[in-house]
Structure 1
């Protein structure tokens, strides 16, 4: 798909700069961290961070005691992740076509990564997440919320991204076979762009 190549190229071009600014946002979100980590431990199989970038969230999940690996479209991001965290597994891949057998994962974290998918493609992403998750596995999705009820493109610093109404995104996950466990809407922190964040915890 054209958008996959353009997204990978965009992140390749800024990988080193991006890695210098990358944060592990989960450290400041105890509800998300605790809920997902506890849920993921209850399901068989490893956890995948999809859209892992240079790897700080993957490493944090490892520190929580999870068997975790990272996947990203950008070869440059994966190279940086492998250099920074040589004890972890990282692979180049697309979230909509994972090189994994059905039902092999205990959990998935998609941390501000489906935001780059064209809206019409997002149902296929959720279907792929459901395919690779074991029954009872959990999905944690972070995204930028659209408060006016419309999916809307915005000027992301790297490449085109989309804001979503939380009910609409949760509905697409439900259509793919997920059950909502919980949701969080939070205001941006002082050093974040002024867009509200949405987090969904779903069970396969």
Structure 2
């Protein structure tokens, strides 16, 4: 999988913070009722259709495990080998793979649904279209995709994260611009949501898009 350039820096940064990320973020869904509701819908649909769910940018695997606990068959995919190692350790009943959003390690039409929570924010603007094409490729026709990202136009660069030296950019995205790129990639956007941050989160406005593969 491609880890050159910026992706190599993103991978190295997440490898560096992986264990602390798990400790700080691994229980986040307990305080995120909207996320749970959206993920619950995704899990319900996946169970009904008998198709696995992809968690794209799964980190330490907590979202994948939450979906699996609700009866879904889940495959977590992350760029960071350290994150994948932790996810496998913490959630041995769930399958995890290492891979890049631009070259997903999955077969055509393997999944009935996919979720990508704050993973596309590390892509360059020109990479969003190819990433969405990959997501469409691995989804079955009619498959559901849930995206979440920070809203805005800024690029926030970190050289230090929780006391660790890193080199990673966070790209804030505009809701309608991303919706348009999903449409161009062969999705039909079915829902748009915005919310303010929870007290324990970074102070950013959050956007969600729910789309279906045409």
* TM-score (norm: length of structure 1): 0.92
Shift of 1:174: 0.7
The residue that corresponds to 2:10 in the other structure is 7
The residue that corresponds to 2:52 in the other structure is 46
Q: Which deviations, in whole Å up to 9, do the C-alpha atoms of 1:37-92 show, x marking residues without a partner?
A: 23333545311101111111010010121100111111111111111111111111
1:167-178 pair list within 5 angstroms: 167-178=176-187
- For structure 1, the residue ranges without an aligned partner over 5 or more in a row are none
Shift of 1:141: 0.5
The residue that corresponds to 2:89 in the other structure is 83
SS in 2 for 1:160: strand
The residue that corresponds to 1:16 in the other structure is 19
SS in 1 for 2:171: strand
Shift of 1:110: 0.4
Paired residue total: 200
SS in 1 for 2:178: helix
Shift of 1:119: 0.9
Task: Answer yes or no: is 1:117 the counterpart of 2:123.
Answer: yes
Task: Answer yes or no: is 1:184 the counterpart of 2:168.
Answer: no
Structure 1 residue ranges (4+ consecutive) displaced by more than 6 angstroms after TM superposition: none
Match of 1:57 among 63, 78, 84: 63
The residue that corresponds to 1:32 in the other structure is 38
Determine if contact 2:122/2:169 at 8 Å carries over to the other structure.
yes
Across the aligned residues of Structure 1 and Structure 2, the Cα RMSD in angstroms comes to 1.6
